[in-house]
Amino acid sequence: MEEKVRNINDCYTLANGVKIPCVAYGTFFETEVGNSDIFEMAIDTGYRYFDTASAYGTENYLAEAMEKSGIRREEFFLASKLRRDCMGYEETKKEFERSLKRLHTDYLDLYLIHWPLPTPDYKEWKTLDLACWRAMEELYREGRVRAVGVSNFMPYHIENILKNCDVPPMVNQIEFHPGYSQEITLQYCRKHNILVQAWSPIGRRKMLEEPLILKLAEKYKVSAAQISLRYCIQRGVIPLPKSSSYERMKQNQDLFAFEISEEDMYRLETLPQIGWSGQHPERERIYFE
């Protein structure tokens, strides 16, 4: 997991040997995307790893963009997620097939359980997660998906799976950026050889206003967004930046010509909590202004 990466399509190796690019393009948008233009642009700028989810409503537009590109399916790394209102053994299998259909493909590179609980106060989550996981293991064994994992899981949610599985999760995708690095979950995942990925690596723009990050941007002669993304890379975490602009998509790939010093990494790692999205699997979402 500590492999040195030099461009966005350089890979880490997952616990099962599958190679995964070190940066992905995130496909969640607050407002309806409506067509494939933004994904065509993302492919054009060089992204090959796309992180989507059934809940995002973007799978079909992404499929359209991939087809239009003329690039072979195998050159993409395609990840999707099981939505939280479709959990359970049978539902996981059905929803996986629906995702494949929307994505116009017959396999995924990575499939994740999107949230450990369907609702924050759901009591039987241990049984439900194991039912989903049994289906995920079967899809994996059948070769329908090359790697399997979870998202927004805390260590105790993962522990439930690890104690009862044949195939351990290879990935955990969590909110991760300076000011909200979920250190305990990160440590736990490292210990169990689970690769961590960062959703909202720019903290939904909050990083762009943080004084320390602005200071480091000036020092390293890059943008505040690049500091946040490089921070992920130096923590061995895969950032999933999303942007609607060609220029910023390009900028978000330009992360390998500078290195944040150890001292500055400690500064970033020890920032007080900032930029939290307000989401936690066992709490109602908090909306900040």
Q: Does 58 bind ligand A2P (CB under 6 A)?
A: no
When the beta carbons of 36 and 160 are compared against ligand A2P, the nearer one is 36
Q: Does 203 bind ligand A2P (CB under 6 A)?
A: yes
- CB 56 → ligand A2P: shortest distance, Å? 12
Q: Does 46 bind ligand A2P (CB under 6 A)?
A: no
Q: Does 204 bind ligand A2P (CB under 6 A)?
A: yes
- CB 210 → ligand A2P: shortest distance, Å? 12
- CB 204 → ligand A2P: shortest distance, Å? 4
- CB 178 → ligand A2P: shortest distance, Å? 11
3-state secondary structure the chain: CCCCCCCCCCEEECCCCCEEECCCEECCCCCCCCCCHHHHHHHHHCCCEEECCHHHCCHHHHHHHHHHHCCCHHHCEEEEEECHHHCCHHHHHHHHHHHHHHCCCCCECEEEECCCCCCCCCCCHHHHHHHHHHHHHHHHHCCCECCEEEECCCHHHHHHHHCCCCCCCCEEEEECECCECCHHHHHHHHHCCCEEEEECCCCCCHHHHCHHHHHHHHHHCCCHHHHHHHHHHHCCCEECCCCCCHHHHHHCCCCCCCCCCHHHHHHHHCCCCCCCCCCCCCCCCCCCC
Q: Does 92 bind ligand A2P (CB under 6 A)?
A: no
Q: Does 93 bind ligand A2P (CB under 6 A)?
A: no
Q: Does 248 bind ligand A2P (CB under 6 A)?
A: yes
- CB 77 → ligand A2P: shortest distance, Å? 18
Q: Which of 25, 47, 49, 56 is catalytic?
A: 56
Q: Does 252 bind ligand A2P (CB under 6 A)?
A: yes
| 56 is a catalytic site residue | yes
Site size with ligand A2P, rule: CB under 6 A? 18
Catalytic residues: 56
Q: Which residues bind ligand A2P (CB under 6 A)?
A: 26, 200-205, 208, 223, 225, 241-245, 248, 251-252
